[in-house]
Structure 1
Amino acid sequence: MTDTIGLLHPGSMGSAFGAQLRARGHVVLWCPDGRSDTTRRRAQRAGLEPKTLPELISRSDVLLSLCPTAAAEETAAQVAELGTAGVGTIYVEANAVSPARVQRIADHLAPMPVIDAAVVGSPPVGGKYPTLYLSGSSQQAERIAELFVGTDVRPQVLGDSIGKASALKLAYSSYQKVSRVLAAVAYGAAATYGVADELLEIAAKRTRSYLVETDYIPKTAARAWRWGPELEDAAALLADSGLPDSLMHAAAATLARWDDNRDERLDVAGALEALRAQGDPDNPS
């Protein structure tokens, strides 16, 4: 069965998902209004069909939201405001947002059904196989899972409660992404005192420690503008669970020091210099 999927809005992950769906014979639409040339090229390479937003919404059986975390609710609000979705259209909220935000989105879009989704892993290109976790109405979640049968995206249904997929994603992110931040800060401190090589020697005794992956520090800097809002939502998850959220807020504040380096190609020294440059000159720590 061929479905029409409206993709909101295809970045590197979204365009890769779109290409996988296209390879399975589905029609994938996207809206180029206000999007960058880079996004346009990605969409063209993936074989996505450009439409206006009202056309995209009215023609889609499934609306798949894969956008930066900070834009998740605004994107859903645009869909709700237009109100042109067909009967039975399913909205898949696949961004890294807190369970509370997913519920707000579901409430705002009602009566349109919403499936809570989360992507764990890299974009499905070059032999990579991310997992798409789904939670919400079991019948609708299974329908979304069926879209990806035979693709490099591995769907897994977690249950019928909205919030499970988002909680899993942010629980993982709260470790994985903060570990990257801590590695950058620790390496920077060691480099300041001339003991970076010794730190790496210690770290190398542990298998696949993030501290060994110093080449990831510039990648962390370039992605900080996306990771910061996600960690704020991870903080909301922890707070809702009665757990301390200060580390998540602190990590987001650290990432904000790289806001001016969005998608830049820095080396390790340049990324650390940018991190220091945003600090208090009277308190370099």
Structure 2
Amino acid sequence: MDQPTVGILHPGSMGAAVAACAAANAAAVLWCEAGRSAASAARADQFGLVPVATLPELLDRSDIVISLCPPAAAEDLARDIAEHGFAGMYVEANAINPGRAARIAELLEPTAAVVDGGVVGSPPVRGKTPTLYLSGPAAATSRIEALFAGTAVQTHALGLEVGKASALKLSYAAYQKTSRVLVALSVGMAREHGVDQELIDIASRRTAAYLSEPEYVAKTAARAWRWGPELEEAADTLAAAGLPPEMLRAAAATLARWKDAKDGKLTLTDALSLLAHP
């Protein structure tokens, strides 16, 4: 297969590094200068991306367009692409929910082939090897796999359904990012009372991530009747320290969905069903 020309929208820290990896198997990787900052230009230059003056020029020259932009802009950007009548392959790789990914596919198809993508991991620089999860038409996902073959961006196809890659990305992001906010709240609460080092010492004795232990969900459901009030007490403690309590109150409200599972013998499936349909 001939090497494709690739367009990247827009070269942020992730987008520019991913685009640079695509360049290994592409004739050229283009980016559009219009409306971009000096920092974007410097990043694009650092990664050897080829500037073009306008979005229509980028679309006319590109066989594959990869969208990696702030999530809020994803649909507006896709609408601009659709209005131009882009007829190549569009990789929707933003951190958006599956419903939005499906709407974007509807905007662009059947003129363009749409692949749903989700990047999990850090930008592919200094030895980092993120995975680009893909879902959509088999021929299209295969072409994107070939585009990144032998590069620091690993690929993994999830099937034919647009939205699967987005769902996996957000499922992981929900844990990864919320857990870091919880760290800030926990350490902040402990520091307010002068016990932050002791908290870190306790945590250092546990190294496993709960996300890798889904069977623990059933145990959580069975204990929710007492964990919920405990988190309300913790939320009050945060509020007294001037720290935001809303996340812990939301966690307590989530636990309340398991209020009828008190000390029950639940399976993971039981617990998740109760969570979705209390």
In the TM superposition, what are the counterparts of 1:8-87 in structure 2 within 5 Å? Answer: 8-51=9-52, 52-83=54-85, 85-86=86-87
1:176 is aligned to: 176
Q: Distance in 1 between matches of 2:143 and 2:209?
A: 39
* AA partner of residue 18 (structure 2): F
Mapping for residues 121-140 of structure 1, pairs under 5 Å? 121-140=121-140
Secondary structure at the aligned position of 2:158 is classed as strand
Residue 147 (structure 2) pairs with residue 147 (structure 1)? yes
* 1:213-252 equivalences in 2 (<5 Å): none
TM-score norm. by structure 2 comes to 0.72
Deviations 1:195-216 (A, max 9, x none): 1111111111112779xxxxxx
Per the alignment, residue 107 of structure 1 pairs with 106
Q: CA deviation at 1:178?
A: 0.7
Answer yes or no: is the 8 Å Cα contact 1:65–1:91 preserved in 2. yes
What is the one-letter code of the residue matched to 1:115? V
Cα deviation digits, residues 84-116 of structure 1 (max 9, x gap)? x24xx0110001111100001111112222110
Work out the percentage of aligned pairs sharing the same amino acid.
53
Which one has a bigger Cα radius of gyration? 2
SS in 2 for 1:126: coil
Amino acid at match of 2:7: G
Q: Are the counterparts in 1 of residues 26 and 147 from structure 2 also a CA contact under 8 Å?
A: no
Q: Is the 8 A contact 1:115 1:136 kept in 2?
A: yes
1:26 shift after superposition: 3.2
Q: Deviations over 1:23-47 (max 9, x none)?
A: 3343101011111111110100111
RMSD: 2.2
Amino acid paired to 2:202? I
Unaligned runs of 5+ in 1: 211-274, 281-285
* Residue deviations 1:147-172 (CA, integer Å, cap 9, x gap): 01111111111101111111111111
CA positional deviation for 1:69? 1.3
2:196 is matched with 196
Q: Judging changes above 3 Å, is the alpha-carbon distance between structure 1 residues 25 and 103 closer, same or farther for their aligned structure 2 residues?
A: closer
Moved runs in structure 1, 4+ residues, more than 2 A?
A: 23-26, 275-280
Deviation at 1:55, TM superposition (A): 0.5
Paired position in structure 1 for 2:116: 116
Q: CA deviation at 1:277?
A: 8.5
TM-score by length of 1: 0.71
Q: Distance in 2 between matches of 1:173 and 1:278?
A: 21
Q: Does the Cα contact within 8 Å between 1:65 and 1:94 map onto a contact in 2?
A: yes
CA contact (8 A) 2:188 2:243 kept: no
The question of whether the paired residues in 2 share the 8 Å contact of 1:203 and 1:209 is answered with no
Unaligned runs of 5+ in 2: 211-240, 247-278
Q: Deviations over 1:201-234 (max 9, x none)?
A: 1111112779xxxxxxxxxxxxxxxxxxxxxxxx
Asked if 2 retains the 8 angstrom alpha-carbon contact of 1:135 and 1:162, the reply is yes
Superposed counterparts of 1:259-270, under 5 Å: none
Instruction: State the alpha-carbon separation in 2 of the partners of residues 90 and 209 from structure 1.
Output: 37
Change (3 A) 1:201 1:20: same
